[in-house]
Amino acid sequence: MTAKMAASIVEHGEDAFRKLFKFYKRRNPPPDFSEVIHFSKPCNDKVFAYELNSTPISEGDVSKAGLRPVKDWRAFGLHGYPGFIFISNPFLPGSQQYWVKQCLKIYPQKPNVCNLDMHMSSVETENIWEKSIEVIRKKGCGKREPKTLLEKLRWVTLGYHYDWNSKTYSPDHYTPFPKELHSLSHKVAAACGFPGFNAEAGILNYYRSDSSLGIHVDESELDHTRPLFSFSFGQTAVFLLGGTKREDRPTAMFMNSGDIMVMSGPSRLLYHAVPCIVPAGNVLPPDLGQRLETEAQDDNLIQSVSEEDWDVCSWYLQTSRVNVTVRQVLASGQTFPSSQASHLSTDSCEKSEEGTQKNKKRKSESGYEHDT
């Protein structure tokens, strides 16, 4: 079935989103990606250039976060999706490596919370990186090694920790939000016309080559007037952006390493999903192979990654993708409802579309699927 045939099938009818999700999730035969929007070479009548505001932030400030001058960013919007902004890899050469290392080595550390905490003691998950790297370095030596904790990682929460069961945030479930990630988000927000954005919660999703993320809406934040920011690193994924109803046919687009998506205004509460990771044959995306051109200064947010650490990161990203979503939970001056309960759940978040015994899949806690 071609992409055009798939489009005709899902143009009308019940749950058009789910039908296109299944089309791109299919493995045999593989889907036709010819109608997926590629923002690095946009030639689709749905795409238009989006003008950002470079006035609020100096070139020096954005470079400290590993970003190019805002005037050089390539930003796009989509007709029919007001408030949606796509920024095609605005990172300086080599700077993505720092953010990847943070996602794999630093952010999974305690007191942050991850999916492994649901089934393991805090002692067992205390240092996922250190407990994984020795096994990872032995892989490929002919001996089959079991999966490391790093390979079993599916999600990590930062700041206000999301409760997957009640789908709420709580003032009792909070750890300090990473300053460098807050600064990065604040700078991107200012360039997109959202000054004063306060990063209060983060969800990191770790996708293996067989992972997907089910259809859902991010509506748990108490303030929906503030945008949601999504940062992608590693292998390319297909992202589906739909409407306010599951009957609305979604638009498919590629997310490449370094790309940033902004969901604001009317697009803030739209259905969306990730049906598949696009295999690249165990090859690292070219931008991730670049090292920092100059040595980072002490006041820079980003710092050089050691070759030892990057060997592990690059091995992981040859078959995987990391996505970071950053949210503001509360409006300025807003507080949590007094009845807000605090309890860490062992249940799943957004329910994946294909989690039945019939297709012999198993799910992790965050709505992912991966083959058994």
Residues in binding site: 216, 218, 272
Q: Are 200 and 327 in contact (CB under 8 A)?
A: yes
Counting Cβ atoms within 10 Å, is residue 362 exposed (0-12), middle (13-18) or buried (19+)? exposed
- Distance set, CA 129 to CA 102, 103, 304, 307 (Å): 11, 11, 18, 15
| Beta strands in 145-244, from DSSP E residues, in sequence order | 155-159, 201-207, 212-216, 228-234, 237-241
Helix 16-25, helix 3-10: angle, nearest 10? 160
Task: Quote the CA–CA distance of 368 and 372 in Å, as a whole number.
Answer: 12
Whose structure tokens read 């002919």? 142
Task: Measure the CA–CA gap between 197 and 188, rounded to whole angstroms.
Answer: 9
How far, CA to CA in Å, does 120 sit from each of 108, 133, 152?
14, 19, 12
- Return binding residues for Fe cation: 216, 218, 272
Q: Which two tokens stand for residue 153?
A: 């990682």
